[in-house]
Structure 1
Amino acid sequence: MNVDMTTTIPAGANQTTPKSKASVDYQSFLKLLIAQMKNQDPTQPMDSTQYVAQLATFSQVEQSVQMNTKLDSILQSSALSQADALIGHSITSADGKTTGTVSEVRLSSSGLIAVLENGTEMAVGPGVTVGPAAS
């Protein structure tokens, strides 16, 4: 059984990374909207359709952020539920130099880490081969 990258967590999924200056989260969007409302020309207030459109955009941004958080959680749960299937099985690294029986599996921010009976740690990724339990 070959294990592919569909069971691993993307790098950084569980880490906080500095935000790019180009990216705008929903908090920034809300601050921008409030500043726009405070500084609008009282003689020419914002059209109500523009205001509703901006609120709808804000709602979409917030929902997208929440959905990404939930998807990260689902990905982690899925990887953990599949990880126990590796325990007791024979595993060989992509280069073929490391082989052994999996004694435990850990989930890190970079994906699944298989710990062999001899204590060697191996990242489960492309090219790694998992076979039946050694007799």
Structure 2
Amino acid sequence: MDVNPVSSSTATATSAADAAASKVGLDYDTFLTLLVQQMKNQDPTEPMDATEQIAQLATFSQVEQTIKTNKNLEMLLQSSNLTQAGSIIGRTLTSHDGEVSGIVQEVTVSANGLVATLDTGDELAVTNGVTIK
């Protein structure tokens, strides 16, 4: 088995992030298993440098922590959106151009943000320029 070393930590981080994102089951233990197999099957005439092995391990650890941080940030953002959605129900929203206005009856939370359904039946995205009274 011939394994080419990665010369850039950015390339390693990108490929590790792509692998982690595409395979939910990939974790730290899997990486260690792969690293051990790589060491067992390396060419004895051109062994992998120990510094490179440590760099790969550190990079994978950073990627794993980044994935965990992103998940926590997504949960925090979702919680913030739900709090904001609850706080505008019953209040008057007016679009930035003043053409759409009404009292918020319900709010839908989506990946693109909040969409308020007004008492007039209109839907208004809660974005920059929308006035809340």
> Do the structures match in fold with TM over 0.5?
yes
Q: What's the TM-score, normalizing by structure 2?
A: 0.70
SS in 1 for 2:15: coil
Q: Is the 8 A contact 2:90 2:103 kept in 1?
A: yes
| Contiguous gaps of at least 5 residues in structure 1 | 1-22
Alignment of 1:21-100 (within 5 A): 24-26=15-17, 28=19, 37=39, 40-100=42-102
* 2:57 aligned partner, one-letter code: L
Aligned partner of 1:124: which letter?
A: V
Displacement over 6 Å in runs of 4+:
none
Partner of 1:9: none
What amino acid does structure 2 have at the position aligned with 1:26? A
Per-residue CA distance 1:45-88 (angstroms, 9 max, x = gap): 11222201110001101111221121111101111012111011
Please tell me whether Structure 1 or Structure 2 has the larger radius of gyration of its CA atoms: 2
Give the whole-Å Cα distance in 1 for the aligned partners of 2:126 and 2:15: 34
CA distance in 1: counterparts of 2:19 and 2:39, whole angstroms: 14
- Specify which structure has the bigger relative contact order, considering alpha-carbon pairs within 8 angstroms and separated by 6 or more residues: 1
Deviation, structure 1 residue 36: 6.0
Cα deviations by residue, 1:24-52 (Å, 9 ceiling, x for unpaired): 3436375xx75965763222211222201
Q: Distance in 1 between matches of 2:127 and 2:16?
A: 32
More helix by share: 2
State the identity %. Answer: 51
Give the number of aligned pairs. 107
Determine the C-alpha separation between the residues in 2 that align with 1:37 and 1:27: 23
Q: Which amino acid aligns with 2:118?
A: L
SS at match of 1:59: helix
TM-score, with length taken from structure 1: 0.69
Unpaired segments ≥5 residues, structure 2? 1-13, 21-30
